[in-house]
Structure 1
């Protein structure tokens, strides 16, 4: 059978599966590539061998790290450490809309250290929502500001976005994280431009940066959560800082850092009932692990049956040389619009092809994929095809279709500006 046609057919099946939503996406990625491998003449044993090698690589570089990262950050969130820090910030500042936007950026960037957008939204938006209402600040603007800050922080090696990207590209999460860090710096001037733009829009609408409505309400007393541990706040914070320093400064293996931090935090905060919290992480980790394994099945077959090479050669022979050279940049520029219509999992499936084409032009694999780590996250909050968008919109009382239509042009321009800044400072590798 023609390998190129089989590769195109496999991609087409994946696209149709997602667009029609008739069959679980994970099932298709786990079963269909296996069938295609057999049709291309690879025995069941051969297929099993390269799939198992891919799975083993996933667990070694990402799987164990994610498990303990989820456990650790779930305990920190449950203990109330993040809420205590955020509440201290908001209660000691003289508030106006400018400060509110800066706080949204800082808290959003801080909260994505949990590694997942859903808990990051759960930390950021419930705390700031009363202030958005008090200042009549557009909650759609708030979502975009928070998402931009979170996207800038997506270079962290334990993040779920990094896990998906590294897994799909067949790269080390740690190596990809180091290559993505310069892109995070390129977000800083764009974030400031967002403050100016959204501040100007707010001033146009309301005529002031101060409180618009200030109704007298009964003092809100936050009900102490069952798992809250305020008495251990300083211990948890010190351990958190040590863990971040070990990861960022001393490059201690992330899985080892999170194992030690998880065990210590569990013994201090939940010596008798840590099993309950561990159990709550199980379903989320299982769902993510199954998705990662499915992506790896797809990747293993795509890489080891000659599909990547065949498809790359076909593109090189058909696509004009200048277009092919900058194909990854063209797709990077358009990624927000593309992800609005197509789930990011399909986009991720193209990374092996990008790497093969980049190699023909002397561009290293990490340099090809690093631009997508942070920038693609701008797209994942502006699409109705991503579940976390619904979480964020629900917390901010926004309608998903209306919000995503507003967000696409803003995030597209944000993405463009980051790319321009990266090109200006030599961060973007043009080959």
Structure 2
């Protein structure tokens, strides 16, 4: 079978398996490329191809594994609890302040890259206020999802790691030029929050009286331990930003492993408690790590068998010459429907390598194509294929269809703001 044809069929079958739910992403990422590799005439030589693919994704897989464990431990230790209490006290009965407070709280909690954690903590703090004041719950669902879509572009958030792993790139090199785009995305979200909050204040007025406190356990950590946890987070953020300032630092996987070891030892000195805490966060960490390493099979086989080259040659031949130099913005636009109708796994592991090869033929760096493909993430979270979105609408008790109708246009606007900022600052 022709490698190009096999590659297109591989992507189609892989996408169909993921979309239909017949296979989970990890086994689909492993079995599909091996079967099509055999179909194009390869045998035992598929082994070295897979190992090469695993070598490419290993740093990203290790980083994501330890990032989920680290942020889970820091969150359980109550690192973000003072901020939750502060925001709830300050917003009072003013719908405008409540709206901005919800967006601000979500932005901070989203640092862990886990949308489910963001929704659980923010809804626990802010949803009682929304209900007490009679505010529109669709506003809360919209803002939390959009904030999560922007902040999820962190290296440990998932999409950036997938894009980097799919192209064999250093995740930090992909992420750092995205910071202006993320800033623009957050600015757009807070502009939306301002408009929604002012509209609710005009509709409802300001309720006099004390703010409602979240009905949850108050985890008061000792001051010294809290300060050390905060120092760990600050050092990790500084290590992430340092390369952009020309400061040499440790690779991100090493930084994340060090942060994990420090956070676990500080908050759980006893060995039995450490094992229990790791086990508590192991399901989320292992599922993501398994996905990244399974993706190494797909990328290794597609590159080693010549499928990517053949598919890119076919795409290059089909792309009008005038569109070639503008392929990155076109990919940014395509990422909205692409990641909505396909899962992130299907889009980044199946389509992005092909698009990147086509872009390379027109002189577009793979890093630029990876960043362009990430621009649709705020819109992607509207997809019914995203489990955390079902959690969000379930917590807030709104219909998925109503949430999609209300949020679709704002989500597209946030994506546009991010793309324009990325293009203006040389991201792609």
TM-score (norm 2): 0.88
2:81 aligns with one of 73, 83, 86 = 83
Where 1:41 maps in the other structure, the secondary structure is: coil
Asked if 1:236 corresponds to 2:229, the answer is yes
In the alignment, is the contact (CA less than 8 A) between 2:6 and 2:36 conserved in 1?
Answer: yes
CA shift, 1:256, in A, is 2.6
Deviates more, 1:123-132 or 1:252-261: 252-261
The answer on whether the counterparts of 2:178 and 2:422 sit within 8 Å (CA) in structure 1 is no
2:48 counterpart residue number: 49
Tell me the alpha carbon deviations over residues 35-86 of structure 1, each in whole angstroms, 9 at most, x when there is no partner: 2112222232x21112112212322x21222222222111111112212222
**Map of 1:246 onto structure 2:** 239
3-state DSSP of counterpart to 2:382: coil
Shift in Å at residue 325 of structure 1?
4.1
SS at match of 1:326: helix
> What is the Cα-based RMSD across aligned positions, in Å?
2.6
Which secondary structure state, in structure 1, belongs to the residue aligned with residue 294 of structure 2?
Answer: helix
Matched, 1:223 2:222: no
Corresponding position of 1:35? 35
Say if 1:199 and 1:88 are closer, same or farther in 2 by CA, change over 3 A. Answer: closer
For 1:355, the equivalent position in structure 2 comes to 356
Query: What's the offset of the Cα at 1:215?
Result: 11
The 8 Å contact of residues 324 and 362 in structure 2, kept in 1 or not, is answered as no
Cα distance in 2 for partners of 1:122, 1:220 equals 12
Q: Which sections of structure 2, spanning at least 5 residues, go unmatched?
A: none
Structure 1 299/78 Cα, relative in aligned 2: closer, same or farther at 3 Å? same
1:80 aligns to what SS in structure 2? coil
Match of 2:12 in 1: 12
Aligned match of 1:277:
277
Count of residues in correspondence between the two structures: 419
- Supply the distance in 1 between the matched residues of 2:87 and 2:111 (Cα, whole angstroms): 18
**More displaced, 290-299 or 2-11?**
290-299
The structure with higher relative contact order (CA 8 Å, sep 6+) is 2
Structure 2 CA distance for partners of 1:109 and 1:220, relative to 1, 3 Å: closer
Counterpart position of 2:384: 384
Q: Quick check: 1:336–1:411 contact (8 Å CA) kept in 2? A: no
Asked if the contact 1:336–1:376 (Cα under 8 Å) also holds between the matched residues in 2, the reply is yes
Distance 1:155 1:202 in 2: 30
> Contact 1:308–1:356 at 8 Å: present in 2 too?
yes
Partner Cα distance (2:232, 2:7) in 1: 48
- Equivalent pair of 2:155/2:172 in contact (CA under 8 Å): yes
1:261-309, Cα deviation, whole Å (9 max, x unpaired): 3223222321121211101122222211222122221111112211111
Single out whichever of 70-79 and 99-108 deviates more from structure 2: 99-108
Answer whether contact 2:73 2:277 (CA < 8 A) is retained: yes
**1:385 Cα deviation from its structure 2 partner:** 0.6
Deviation at 1:224, TM superposition (A): 4.9
Alpha-carbon distance in 2 for matches of 1:201, 1:331 = 35
Residue 135 of structure 2 aligns with which residue? 137
Asked if structure 1 preserves the Cα contact closer than 8 Å seen for 2:61 and 2:293, the reply is: no
Distance of aligned partners of 1:106 and 1:49 in 2 relative to their CA distance in 1, 3 Å threshold: same
Q: TM-score, structure 1 length as denominator?
A: 0.88
Question: Aligned pair in 2 of structure 1 residues 97, 55: CA closer, same or farther (>3 Å)?
Answer: same
The answer to which of 6-15 and 140-149 deviates more is 140-149
Provide Cα deviations, 1:342-378, integer angstroms capped at 9, x if missing partner.
22222112111221122122111111211333x2320
What are the within-5 Å matches in structure 2 for residues 335-414 of structure 1? Answer: 335-348=335-348, 349-373=350-374, 375-414=375-414
In 2 relative to 1, CA 21–263 (structure 1 residues): closer, same or farther, beyond 3 Å?
Answer: closer
- Structure 1: 5+ residue stretches without partners: none
CA apart distance, 1:422: 4.1
Aligned-partner Cα distance in 2 for 1:184–1:123: 22
Shift of 1:10: 0.7
Name the CA shift for 1:135/1:311 in 2 (closer, same or farther; >3 Å).
Answer: same
